[in-house]
Amino acid sequence: MTDLTMRVEARRPLTEQICEFTLAPLDGAELPTFEPGAHVTIETPSKAMRRYSLINDGSAPEVYKIAVKREPESRGGSASMHDEATVGTELRVEPPENDFPMGEANEYLLIAGGIGVTPIYSMAQQLDREGKPFNIIYCTRSPEDTAYLDEMRAAFGDRLLVHHDEGDPEKVYDFWDHFEEPKNMHVYCCGPAPLMEEIEAISGHWPEGRVNFEDFKPVDVVREDDKAFDVVLEKSGKRVTVPEDRSILEALRDAGVATVSSCESGTCGTCKTRLLSGEVDHRDMVLMDEEKSENIMICVSRAKEGELVLDL
């Protein structure tokens, strides 16, 4: 399916750090449908590709709704959505995909941490429409940090349990009672890594397929202490400087070099590029050790020192 061009139709601040965006297709074009748990990949104004879960009903959508958290260290994707994707801005959007689909079950437990509420809210609305039994546990730092709090309370009443930990590890929600006995239900969990790791650890004795995770996380593609370096493109003879706050992929794109990418988080393998020389700080999850001397995933990895020569 081809990419969509969508326009920011509305923005709604949900918390100080989280903003909801309503995206409408240009010329009222028909939008692909989607199921709860689906996400779209958006080319943000900074040209970084980012994945966001869809929140609204996807059975006959006229718009797509997403919520974006400004990540504290973000110098790219989420910050540019907040700062530059104003009403009227046009964005390239890849059609919905779903790596976190809901299965058929007698009962559901939905667990959200922070901005991980987006697919969970979408699932809860669908289960509510279908009249299926479910409960939600929604963990955040404080009421002020809790997106959709009032509307979820109004919609789901006592099926929603909200827990605030004030950022104190001593006060995190204790999920053990829910997992001690394996139950005939499906669990869907989306949130920060520590929350998902905890649920994974305490649900190891549950039958396979009952406990499900949304495993994409905002990736720290660029780190605080990263430095600028040059890449030399052997075939085209170009030299491109990769600034300290951009990935190689982004710098190449900025320089008008055609690139291919998908996840932009070092997990899919699409951006694999042949490395001719240079010392690489490999940050991906794809390359085997024996591949690392001759390949680099340019969406996340950088030069350790000096320049890199790529077969481009």
Residue 65 and residue 58: Cα distance in Å, rounded? 10
Q: Give the burial class of 152: count Cβ atoms within 10 A of its Cβ; 0-12 exposed, 13-18 middle, 19 or more buried.
A: buried
Nearer to ligand FES, 124 or 271 (CB): 271
Closest distance to ligand FES from the beta carbon of 27 (Å): 30
Q: Which two tokens stand for residue 144?
A: 């002020």
DSSP 300: T
- The beta strands (E) that lie in the chain are given as 4-13, 18-25, 39-43, 49-53, 64-69, 90-97, 108-113, 134-140, 160-164, 186-190, 211-213, 229-233, 238-242, 272-281, 295-297, 302-310
Q: Using CB under 6 A as the criterion, what x/- string covers residues 13-42 for binding ligand FES?
A: ------------------------------
* CA atoms within 13 A of residue 36's CA, in its CB half-sphere: 22
Of 17, 118, 261, 273, the one binding ligand FES (CB under 6 A) is 261
The answer to whether 117 contacts ligand FES (rule: CB under 6 A) is: no
Residue 50 and residue 31: Cα distance in Å, rounded? 19
DSSP 299: T
For ligand FES, the binding residues in 266-285 under the rule CB under 6 A are 266-271, 284
Q: Is the Cβ–Cβ distance between 93 and 107 less than 8 Å?
A: no
Nearer to ligand FES, 25 or 77 (CB): 77
Nearer to ligand FES, 37 or 266 (CB): 266
Closest distance to ligand FES from the beta carbon of 300 (Å): 6
Nearer to ligand FES, 74 or 247 (CB): 247
The identity of residue 82, as a single letter, is: H
Of 3, 262, 292, 309, the one binding ligand FES (CB under 6 A) is 262
Q: Is the Cβ–Cβ distance between 304 and 293 less than 8 Å?
A: no
Nearer to ligand FES, 195 or 298 (CB): 298
Pick the piece of the chain touching ligand FES (CB under 6 A) from 114-122, 149-157, 171-179, 264-272.
264-272
For ligand FES, the binding residues in 290-309 under the rule CB under 6 A are 297, 299
Q: DSSP H helical segments within 189-276, as ranges?
A: 193-202, 248-254
For ligand FES, the binding residues in 64-83 under the rule CB under 6 A are none
Residue 253 and residue 172: Cα distance in Å, rounded? 42
Of 263, 280, 310, 312, the one binding ligand FES (CB under 6 A) is 263
Pick the piece of the chain touching ligand FES (CB under 6 A) from 61-69, 199-207, 220-228, 262-270.
262-270
Nearer to ligand FES, 137 or 300 (CB): 300
Closest distance to ligand FES from the beta carbon of 14 (Å): 29
Closest distance to ligand FES from the beta carbon of 301 (Å): 9
Closest distance to ligand FES from the beta carbon of 118 (Å): 22
Q: In what order do the strands lie in the sheet with 90-97?
A: 49-53, 39-43, 90-97, 4-13, 18-25, 64-69
Pick the piece of the chain touching ligand FES (CB under 6 A) from 62-70, 159-167, 207-215, 261-269.
261-269
Query: Which residues are near ligand FES by CB under 6 A?
Result: 261-264, 266-271, 284, 286, 297, 299
